[in-house]
Amino acid sequence: MNKISRRSFIPLLGTAVAGASAVSFSLAKEFAVNEIIVPRSLKKGDSIGVCAPAGGIKSNAEIADFKKVLNDLGYSTVFSQNIDKNIGYFSGTDQQRADDFMELIRNKSVKAIFFIRGGWGCARMLEFLDFEIIRDNPKVIMGFSDPTALLNAITVKTGLITFHGPGGNSTWNEYSVKYINELLVNGKTLNYTNQHGDLPIVTYSKGTAQGELYGGNLSVLSTLVGSNYLPNWKGKILFLEDVAEEPYRIDRMLTQLKLAGVFDQISGLILGTFRKCLAEDPGHSFTLEEVFEHHFKGANFPVFYGAQIGHTLNKFTVPIGAKVEMNSVEGSFRLMEAAVGSL
């Protein structure tokens, strides 16, 4: 994929439309989706939009706490209209949640959108989003867990790089904030290597690979199989993480990806944290590591487990849609180009 900025994207699309005798507008839009769009880097004083595209907050203290986190980092905040609503296990109807997100997309003063929590619900609002408007208003969009559905869908449908990183109810410690600043503010081409000895690296298949990075929460990603919100997996680097799922459930979801042909197409696999993924009855279960061995030991693509991605105290922020190179022996991966730019 080629990388273009928002500024160069408009003339490109205009040129395609001008040549309508040779290329239809629909083909021009299809061509645009095959281009990577990088959002503008963040700077102190920027306004961050915050919405709840999935689960509802437990108390208004969550809003106040996240506001303080972002203010302390030097940003102002804009909270969506329905962020304090609760309807069942959602923060509003599917349409309301989609409208809240789209309003922040349209708001020219908002330079980034973060999510206050995960839960469940992002996949249900995808049909209500206007991906053309999202593409025409590129900005940093960051979250993880259930927002896996939203992040991957946006990158697939628009070419805009999105970011798998902390949400409002995450731990915004020095380690995690460092990766946000280096990636989203300073625009560095980061080398991701575990620090502090939080997680040992386990290599299931040795090697190096390059490809565009896609993935996120395994439970969420597996539910999107068969939809048009996931990429063509050929040559991609896939990353996965999860929390509080028993080994047999992890096995079941990995088998779903296998049967869907995902593992026949990817060029590499990065397994992040799988916190609390323990068997309720250990005497009648494989361990998580044994499940990974069943699926990936001796795979024909590099695989390692233990990257600081997901539901963990010290977490990486990684760009979905960006090109990376991974090394499964070292348990590392690096960006091959900046994921943000100046527009």
Q: Which residues are catalytic?
A: 145, 241, 311
Residue 329's φ and ψ, nearest 5 degrees, are: -75, -45
CA 188 distance to own-chain centroid: 18
Identity of the residue numbered 87: I
Count of positions (residues) in the chain? 343
Cβ–Cβ contacts within 10 Å for residue 200, how many? 9
Tokens encoding 54: 């999935």
Q: CB–CB of 323/213 below 8 Å?
A: yes
With H, G, I as helix, E, B as strand and everything else as coil, classify residue 335: strand
Exposure letters 77-110 (e unless 16+ CB within 10 A, then b): bebbebbbbeeeebbbbbebbbbbbbbbbebeeb
Cα distances (Å, whole numbers) of residue 200 to 105, 230, 330: 39, 30, 11
Q: What does DSSP assign to residue 282?
A: G
Residue of 56, 66, 112 whose CA lies nearest to 89: 56
Q: Which residue, chain included where needed, has tokens 């004083």? A: 45
Tokens encoding 55: 């689960």
Q: CB–CB of 269/237 below 8 Å?
A: yes
Q: What does DSSP assign to residue 340?
A: -
